[in-house]
Structure 1
Amino acid sequence: MNLTLLSVANEIEKAFKSLIKSGRPDITDDENNSLIESLYVDLFDNEYILRQVLDDNHTLLKGRRGTGKSTIFLRAEQEIQKNKAKFAIYINLQTCYEEVKSANSDEENLALTKYLTYKNFLTEILKSIQKRFSSKFSSDKEFEELFKAIEEGKYIDKDFQRSIDVTSTQSQENKSDIGGKLGLNNATLNVGLGSVDKNESTVSTKVTELRIFSIHEILKRIKEIANKRGISKIYLFLDDFSELNMDSQKVVIDSLIAPIISSYNETYKVKLAAYPSRIYTGNIDSTKLPSYALDFYDAYEQSSSTYGDVEGLAIDYISRTLAKRIEIYTKNQISLGEIFDLDRAPLEEYLKTLFYCSSSIPRSLGFILNYAYLSSINKGNQITIENINTASVKYFEENILADFINDVRFKQSFYDDKDLLDQIAQKNLMDKIVEKQFNVKRETIEQYQKGILKKQIFTETLEKNRKGPLFWMPTSHFFINKDTEKLLKTLELYFIVNKFNEGSSREPGKKISYYGLNYGLCLLKRIDYGRPAFRRTYDYWRQEEFNLNEYIPRVISNIEVIKCESCEKVYDETEYNIYVVHKKCFKCTHEDTVRVTNKFQTKFKKKIEEWHEKKLPDVHINVLRILYNNIDSEMTAYEIGTQIDRHHLSVTHAMRPLVNNKYVSYKERDKRYYKITDAAVTKFFSDTLDTIE
């Protein structure tokens, strides 16, 4: 037992858990002083990414969940606050979205819902701006008058008109409710009502004038007031953009961001954070909204000449991040190397393993190390490779896989050009890739044992890495043509696969992209991870056995069933292309009866019904997720709130229905300590989707 390590075990745990925090991760010390400035580690030398967010250009940060977008924003805000001529406003768009959803009760009418989304998004954003200005200019009458005028409708765009047909079921006496729902007075609402009876009936309503906020005039007025107080630059930090669906992203871009970028470049600076492959930018000129990638390959490939350089920079980022956390939290009592068992493996191997299992994503790194901590440092022992591997499997099963297949808030890549690529279809694609890669390993070993293996590179791999009866034959990575890699973007968003490299195809003029399966998934499915050290990555990973260029599209195409709804004739793709021209079924000759459907449609509908039964508000799901990830611990409302970016009173409020429904239990000592119940685990986290045949 390492007594020195045990003496700082609590501090090391805090260091690991600080990496897990999501939302506004304002990490503080025991005296509530922010540690962000001292803990911040940039992807590049000289804090390159931070400087891009601080400069006078509009900026788009692109990175998957946990890559540190919110941390960068928070660090940038701290710097801006030091300059009296600059002003920062942080807006969490996901929180706005939740407010918008709760306000939009009329889901049956798409036109009305879109308008309400528009109106409520701008309202919530303006509230955020008002709150931020009020905190700095608490008794400023000009700001008070401005927002009072906005509430009274004095900043309505008089040139904006839309005609919306609204159909709703209501009593004749309540037909004016639509105006109230829209937040409009009689002067701005021209309504034509259809015939109604005295009781309840369907009312057809046409709203011919919907006058909305003139964002140009509001921003212009805010600029004038700010300039009077010596503020020349206003930074708008818009976070969690990709948590919005496509329609809501269009509202934010078209009604807020695009107008600012086109008209207010001198004063307003937009800083937007989004996921790659899940972002709508409309007609914004890309040169006016430069993007900076945070995922390791996209971040480092432009500054590296080889894949080895990319991997080296990613591992260095992990090393710098962990060293800084250990240094700050333990007050320099131990170094990074002292938390690992270096008698079993060199530090470089630990860092490379952490790179493989986390893809250099800080939040993933925090989860894995926190799981590893329980079986090592918590007992006074140093972390081993085995501890990391066990933690990687646990992290995959309890976090990544659970989010991927059981979360009703499924986030799909906008590159998915087929509605058929739903959650179950994506799970099927994952299963098929895993099956394919495992079979390559199994068949290669069988050929070697029979003495018929022809590929020297595989023979060398098996012979150099054999340990008794056990063979090591890595099949974790594969390649696909770059122009079809969009098929993998949803799996990439959920960390099921990670992009590692690009290279030249054997086809002239084509490029290929190299992907690797999740490290924990590979351990779980007995797929050996990595590549042999004696050969270049390019040599090994580009072997034809790892070519999934035809396999992945074939798996996806097999999801589709094309058949006539009348006579049930099944069409192949060629027949369907002919049908599209004439629109008559070849067999029954009925018109417009052939449909492309998902062969898992019935199962998916059943899954949707199950989700509907257990649907909870996002904040409740987030609370349960944190408790589930800390299933062996009890947590206070404050501890939960720091991880989901909620005030502890908001968490306490969410706990009431969770406790009433027996999803959460608590014990009361100096305060309440919450714990997830077995009933909640069974209902929300133990369900899995079987492999679909």
Structure 2
Amino acid sequence: MFKEETRNSLRNLIESLKRYNRYDLRNENNKSILKDVYVDPLPDNGVLKSALNDNTCFFTGRRGTGKSTVFLMAQEMIRESTNKLAIYVDVKSVYGQTELSKIELKKYSDALGDEAIDSLKSYLIHKSFISQFLSETIKEISDYLKLGIRERWFTDRTQRVNEAVKGLNDWYKQVLSSDSYRDIPLFMESKIAEKGLTKQQDEKSNSVEISGDGSFSLNKFASKLGFGVKSKGTKSRLEESSHELQKEFKDILTLYFDIKSLLGSIANLLKNAGFERTYIFLDDFSEVEEEAAKMIVDVLVAPLNNWSNDFYKLKIAAYPERIYYGEIDKQKIDEIPLDFYDMYASKKLTDLEHKAIDFTRRILEQRTQVYLDGDFSQFVEASLWPIFYEELFKATMNNPRRMGYILLYCYNSQIVHGHKITTTALREATIKHYNTKDEAIFRDNIKIQQAFGERLMVQSQKELLQAIINKSKELSKDLPENGSQLFKRLEKIYTSHFFVLRDFEFLLGTLEHNFLISKYHELKDRDGREITIYSLNYGLCQKEGILFGRPEKTEEGKYFTERAFNYLPTIQSFLRKFIIVKCSNCNETHPTEQLPALKLYDMMCPKCRTGKCELSLGYQSLVEEIERLYGDIQLPEIEFEILKVINDGNGGFWYSSLIAAEIDRSYQFVTTHAERLIKLELLDKSKKMIDNQERTVYFLTKKAKIRYFDED
């Protein structure tokens, strides 16, 4: 029914949505088509304009809402000027290069003391950021020159730009050089080993002297790095070595942490080359662990933002429930939400829905113009077409990436077989997406290395979701007989939406972050209390037989605020069973109902007023069993993601940049971890010609298939 050329074009359209991140959209002539396909969620390119203004902006939204796409588009617009630079920094990659193993942390802690570990991490973050910032700046200016922008410059400007590139390269070499910016882990390895030698000498004599001129070969190596050791011979050499190590470490950190001075010097180079502004786009900020995100803000983002300088402008992408501002003044920054409720919030629910559905329509129509001849209706059954965009909105909650995945499932089940997309096919696609992507957070949890508390939290969220599902299914049976008159008049009972008091929103943050539920509206209930309405995942509802939405003829907002849909008692019952609120100081326990009030006072115990209340979850035995059964096979999350992408790829040829586009990482990052998986005998690799280019492709070993994907 569909020509091969048409099917291929549709597949390209779907892939462009599925990789709605930093995926480089290009046509067959290798020309960027980002401008052609970009659709702003707000009229008059409101979101894009925020990325181009001079204010610090936080762009918030769940995974796949288009934060990275906005950054890409802003970079492309900035490149059209001749006096501005746009520098992209992958925060996840910055932090990934600074991670230390538990063994390393213990070793350094023993040598320097626990208080020095945070300083060490801060140092590594600074060094990683500066390295990436300089590398990206050099690349950006070099691209300017390659693109022929120099033709629009006077000869002296071109010369000054070339001088800036040379200066930046000099800075970059210095940052990587062990002479100018010391390689602290290398320094510490040498010193710790040296300390061990000192201990051996101490056991023989208290007067052994180790000089900095190389009495031992290790000292020669250390001296090349600029680290000398001196001895007075009056104290134990071991004590003296430890003291000197701590002092030297502190001195190096003090020298290195002058990031303001370094960025000021870089700014002067760029200004001299004719650049008036540099926009720094910090992406994937919330992808790192909570403590790491706080450290990045404290040691990097806040100082950069608070440094009163008109040259650097910060744009930051973050998840809405994982924002930490630290010393940043929230009154002086902009926050641009990209999730549909926060973006289109309106007193009238129908207005909100119309705006969200319209965005879904505009995204697909714009891409159809670029990729296809004719409109998208050629792929949809006539009976579904009038409500197709509304159904797609329900299925995706306005998330472009989810749109791409669900359309891909429809493509594989219908289009390739010559059939159009039907209502049944669309709903089955949402079930498949729920099973393979959304519900996977619980299934994959046992195979990923996590802190004990994190695993407890995931397990508790699984139980909480099940409690909510059970309540919705119970209501669908109970309301026709025991509900209010409204329900008794209805032919169908919709139980996909529920509400909680707004003060208890924070309890549902993890479920919402993972698209298992979505914030849908804010209203007041029948008792005048402020409430938040949530919807269950559309695919989950199709799987569990829960009718999604509300009856057509019910008064707007009235249906969702029926008292039967107040799920707070269900959630509180779950909390009382599985969560204990206990003071770390006086051990007093408090009712879970007091959590909102405790949060207002930073969890301070109302009894002793000195300790902080902490949550403990009732799944310790289950999590301990998971650790016992699966501890030996658990992988870092990034490495499990790589295996999962290849496994889900149905035998395709997966190379680093293709995997990177799927999991929002750089191809270099993927390559590094893929090599580790090869050493673990979980991946193999080979060379393949793909699109006239030789690439290294990866495939799962039998060991990986059996161990992680239950294949015989």
For residues 383-532 of structure 1, the aligned pairs below 5 Å read 383-407=421-445, 422-445=457-480, 447=481, 453=482, 455-462=484-491, 472-508=492-528, 510-532=529-551
Q: Which residue of 164, 171, 187 maps to 1:146?
A: 171
- 2:588 and 2:607 in contact (8 A); partners too: no
Could you tell me which amino acid in structure 1 is paired with residue 121 of structure 2?
A: T
1:102–1:25 distance in 2 versus 1, CA, 3 Å: farther
Q: CA RMSD in A?
A: 4.2
In the aligned structure 2, how far is the partner of 1:193 from the partner of 1:682? 62
The question of 1:324 aligning with 2:322 is answered: no
Unaligned runs of 5+ in 1: 158-163, 413-417, 448-452, 463-471, 584-591, 688-693
Which residue does 1:173 correspond to in 2? 197
Could you tell me which amino acid in structure 1 is paired with residue 398 of structure 2?
A: S
Which residue does 1:373 correspond to in 2? 411
Which residue does 1:544 correspond to in 2? 563
Unaligned runs of 5+ in 2: 143-161, 183-187, 200-209, 211-217, 599-604, 691-695
Which residue does 1:53 correspond to in 2? 51
Which residue does 2:640 correspond to in 1? 621
Could you tell me which amino acid in structure 2 is paired with residue 308 of structure 1?
A: T
- 2:414 and 2:420 in contact (8 A); partners too: yes
Once the two structures are overlaid, the 10-residue window that deviates more, 243-252 or 676-685, is 676-685
The question of 1:336 aligning with 2:370 is answered: no
How many Å apart are 1:646 and its aligned residue? 5.6
In the aligned structure 2, how far is the partner of 1:168 from the partner of 1:478? 58
Once the two structures are overlaid, the 10-residue window that deviates more, 245-254 or 372-381, is 245-254
Which residue does 1:281 correspond to in 2? 325
Give TM-score scaled by structure 1 length.
0.81
In the aligned structure 2, how far is the partner of 1:384 from the partner of 1:498? 25
Which residue does 1:311 correspond to in 2? 353
Which residue does 2:135 correspond to in 1? 131
How many Å apart are 1:115 and its aligned residue? 2.0
Q: Which residue of 182, 192, 215 maps to 2:259?
A: 215
In the aligned structure 1, how far is the partner of 2:2 from the partner of 2:304? 58
1:419–1:676 distance in 2 versus 1, CA, 3 Å: closer
Could you tell me which amino acid in structure 2 is paired with residue 521 of structure 1?
A: L
Q: Secondary structure at the match of 2:303?
A: helix
Which residue does 2:85 correspond to in 1? 87
In the aligned structure 1, how far is the partner of 2:325 from the partner of 2:42? 26
Q: Secondary structure at the match of 2:315?
A: strand
Once the two structures are overlaid, the 10-residue window that deviates more, 548-557 or 37-46, is 548-557
Could you tell me which amino acid in structure 2 is paired with residue 458 of structure 1?
A: F
In the aligned structure 1, how far is the partner of 2:167 from the partner of 2:246? 39
How many Å apart are 1:55 and its aligned residue? 0.9
In the aligned structure 2, how far is the partner of 1:652 from the partner of 1:143? 27
Q: Give a deviation string over 1:450-496, Cα, whole Å, max 9, x none.
A: xxx4523212322xxxxxxxxx4211110001111111011100111
How many Å apart are 1:74 and its aligned residue? 0.6
Number of residue pairs the alignment of both structures matches? 632
- 1:100 and 1:121 in contact (8 A); partners too: yes
Give TM-score scaled by structure 2 length.
0.79
How many Å apart are 1:647 and its aligned residue? 6.4
Q: Give a deviation string over 1:384-407, Cα, whole Å, max 9, x none.
A: 111111111111111111134524
1:633–1:612 distance in 2 versus 1, CA, 3 Å: same
How many Å apart are 1:676 and its aligned residue? 4.6
- 1:106 and 1:113 in contact (8 A); partners too: no
User: How high is the sequence identity, in percent, across the aligned residues?
Assistant: 27
1:459–1:295 distance in 2 versus 1, CA, 3 Å: same
Q: Which residue of 238, 241, 246 maps to 2:285?
A: 241
In the aligned structure 2, how far is the partner of 1:102 from the partner of 1:321? 42
Q: Give a deviation string over 1:497-533, Cα, whole Å, max 9, x none.
A: 101001013344x310000111111112221111111
- 1:420 and 1:560 in contact (8 A); partners too: no
Which residue does 1:229 correspond to in 2? 273
1:596–1:363 distance in 2 versus 1, CA, 3 Å: closer
In the aligned structure 2, how far is the partner of 1:224 from the partner of 1:570? 57
In the aligned structure 1, how far is the partner of 2:234 from the partner of 2:697? 55
In the aligned structure 1, how far is the partner of 2:193 from the partner of 2:607? 40
Could you tell me which amino acid in structure 2 is paired with residue 620 of structure 1?
A: E
How many Å apart are 1:29 and its aligned residue? 1.9
Give the number of the structure whose residues are more often helix, by fraction. 2
Once the two structures are overlaid, the 10-residue window that deviates more, 601-610 or 118-127, is 601-610
In the aligned structure 1, how far is the partner of 2:298 from the partner of 2:581? 37
Which residue does 1:586 correspond to in 2? none
Q: Give a deviation string over 1:361-389, Cα, whole Å, max 9, x none.
A: 11111111111110111112111111111
1:326–1:513 distance in 2 versus 1, CA, 3 Å: same
1:427–1:678 distance in 2 versus 1, CA, 3 Å: farther
Could you tell me which amino acid in structure 2 is paired with residue 374 of structure 1?
A: N
